[in-house]
Homo-oligomer: A and B are copies of this chain.
Amino acid sequence: MVVVMQHGAEEAHIQNVIKRLNEFGFDVHRSSGVNQTVLGAIGVKPDFDVRHIKVLDGVSDVYRVTEPYKFASRSWKTEDTIIDVNGTSIGGTEIQVMAGPCSVESEEQMEACASMCAAQGATFLRGGAFKPRSSPYSFQGLGEDGLKIMQEAARRHGVNTITEVMEVSQIELIYPHTDVFQVGARNMQNFSLLKELGKTNKAVFLKRGLSATIEEWLMSAEYVMASGNPNVILCERGIRTFENYTRNTLDLSAVPVVQNKSHLPVFVDPSHGTGIRNKVTPMARAAVAAGADGLMIEVHPNPDQAMSDGPQSLYFEQFSELMRQIRLIATAIDRSVREPQEVSV
């Protein structure tokens, strides 16, 4: 931590800052220039609130010069984290695609999705079973039955499953039915949930909050990792800005930034990130070109009749074309996307 004193700060103020820093357990190195004194404080704890020093008399600014997270940081672990889920590698050279509907609605719907995903080279089937949404007047999901429907469809076609967990009390219920726990954007700072997921042995897919900085997002990953679970997958899904022709602003520059700051895999969800079907494909392509380790895409056999998020779900033929395009783009950066599979009829 670096404490910059005001120009011409009084010696008494400087001494008081040093005294307070010592009380908080820091070693202090003082360097005094002609006009300005700067104090280096060594030994900052990750949770130290720098405002304790900022409010002291004579202090101009305080800079935390270390990251507030550790396990999630590339300075702690330099090589990329590769997560194995039933033999599928997340974070390696192969780009993984997770696809499926917003909500699990029926066996027929999930069978159609699972079959199509597997055929196209997607490796994860997604679907939501608990859908408390922003309006109290909307469809709220099939619950445990939905989880079973999804899991059976996925097994029939040899793909993995991922579904969202919304509160601590759901972890036990969802655990046997999913391969990866998804934490939604609104729960990115639900610290109780993160801590409990950190005690499980399944990977956690952590979406970025709508107004979360990248630093806060990595801090949330830290919560999971500090509880014992190193398998965190980050997922950018759009941030809130002043622009209102789009629902959110998909922050694709988060991909190279995260890859620089952290060793964790980073995915992109262009479906929620754009909110409208005809922007999903261009932004999915862009995500792969930017270097994302994977995509999460909403598809539906009949988007016009979907119980939720139909307008941002791709038709099957659009998804198939998207997979073809990203397979070509991946080659430009020496990566790959799984080839289409022969349909197992």
Contact = CB atoms under 8 A, between A and B. Distances in A.
Interface in A233-249: 239-246, 249
A4 interface: yes
Contact of A290 (B33, B226, B251, B283): B283
Copies in the complex: 4
Interface stretch (A85-93, A106-114, A172-180, A188-196): A188-196
A149 interface: no
A177 to B, nearest CB: 20
A254 B241 CA distance: 13
A136 B222 contact: yes
A210 B211 contact: yes
A121 interface: no
Nearest to A7: B75
B242 A46 contact: no
A214 B245 CA distance: 7
A156 interface: no
Contacts of A190: 186, 190
Interface stretch (A52-60, A157-165, A294-302): A52-60
A40 B189 CA distance: 35
Interface string A271-286: 0011111110011011
User: Which of A54, A61, A274, A282 is packed against the most chain B CB atoms within 10 Å?
Assistant: A282
A155 interface: no
A144 interface: no
